[in-house]
Each structure stands twice: as structure tokens, then as C-alpha cells.
Amino acid sequence: MNFKKIATYTACGVAALAVATLALPRHVSIERTAVMNASPEAVIALAASNTGYQAFNPYKDLDPNLRVEMFGPTTGVGSGFAFESKDGAGQQTVAFVSADQVIFDLDLGPLGQPTQAISAVAVDGATEVTWSMDIDLGMNPVFRVMGLFIDDMIGSNFELGLANIADVAA
């Protein structure tokens, strides 16, 4: 087999692989839920505050050198923080607050702009807290492949954050 045929087959294989990645999901969701002894109001108040969020921020546990700089109001829409860690940099801003949910806009630069939410609902004398994230991976084939593993990569961070909320809000 000559070099030209090998190069042609290789190029076709790479092109086929790139096209195949477009069949992977563009939108990915991650969600974790925990039931805890804290009031929904306490959970929402923590989540809606840039300083309150830091009380349970799981990334502080995962990176002791995490740098956080607050901006905007202390609580409510517009409250947020910029961060820089061993895993990257970005910012998180409270975009919406209701009695049972806080929605955050994240800006992770070239990694995207996912939406994150923390909801808290009273259930049988306790509170069910759900931490979720929705990500649009766009047309980037590498991001789409990463999307297959993102639940495993981020889900444990949400579990740690939920445990932190249970400790702080109780």
C-alpha cells in the first residue's frame, strides 16, 4: 500500500469520526438531589447570595487555592462572583430568584455558558434540594465527546455541594 492511499484512508477516517460526533447530543443536563433538614427559605437565601454561595461552594473543597472575587449586590439578581481555580476561570451570576429556585448564568469562556439552578422544596418535614446544570455543547466535536462524560465529571461536585448545603443551612 502506498503513502497516498494510507493518507487518503486516514483522512476519510478522521472526517467520518468528526461527522459522527455531530450525532452526539448537543445539550447535556446534570442533576443531583438530596433531602436535608434545612428550610427551603434558608437554602434559597444561601444560594441567592454571592457570599452565601461561598459557604457551600464545593470547588473551595476541591481547590484550596480557589480565588473568588464578589461583584454586584450581595444577594439577588446580579449577585455573583468571578473565580479562578486549577481547573479554569469564569464567573457565575444570579439570573433569577423565586421562593423555591435560584438560576445562575455561568461564563466559562471558551468552555461555554451553561445555566445552573438550585431548587428547594419542602417535602415531609424536610427539604428536597436539587442542583442542576444545562449545557449547550454547540457544534464542537471535542465538547460533544466530553458531553458523554460530563455527568461523571461534575455530578460528584454537586453531591459535595449538596452535602455542604445540608451542613451550612441546618
pLDDT in tens, 90-140: 999 999 999 999 999 999 998 899 999 999 999 999 999 999 999 999 888
The reply to whether 20 falls in a domain is no
CA 148, 149, 152, 155 dihedral sign is: negative
Residue 16: pLDDT over 70: no
Total domains present in the chain = 1
Residue at 14 is within a domain: no
2, part of any domain = no
Structural domain contains residue 13: no
CATH of the domain at 79: 3.30.530.20
24-39: average pLDDT = 94
Residue 76: give the domain boundaries: 26-169
Is residue 82 included in any domain, yes or no?
yes
pLDDT at residue 21 above 80?
no
Residue (of 169, 165, 148) closest to 30 by Cα position: 148
Judge whether residue 15 has pLDDT over 90: no
What is the rounded CA–CA span in Å between residue 157 and residue 153? 8
pLDDT at position 126 is: 96
With bands split at pLDDT 50, 70 and 90, how would you rate the model's confidence at 7? low
Is the pLDDT assigned to residue 27 strictly greater than 90?
yes
The answer to whether residue 15 sits within a structural domain is no
- In-domain check, residue 45: yes
Q: Is the pLDDT of residue 10 over 80?
A: no
119 lies in a domain? yes
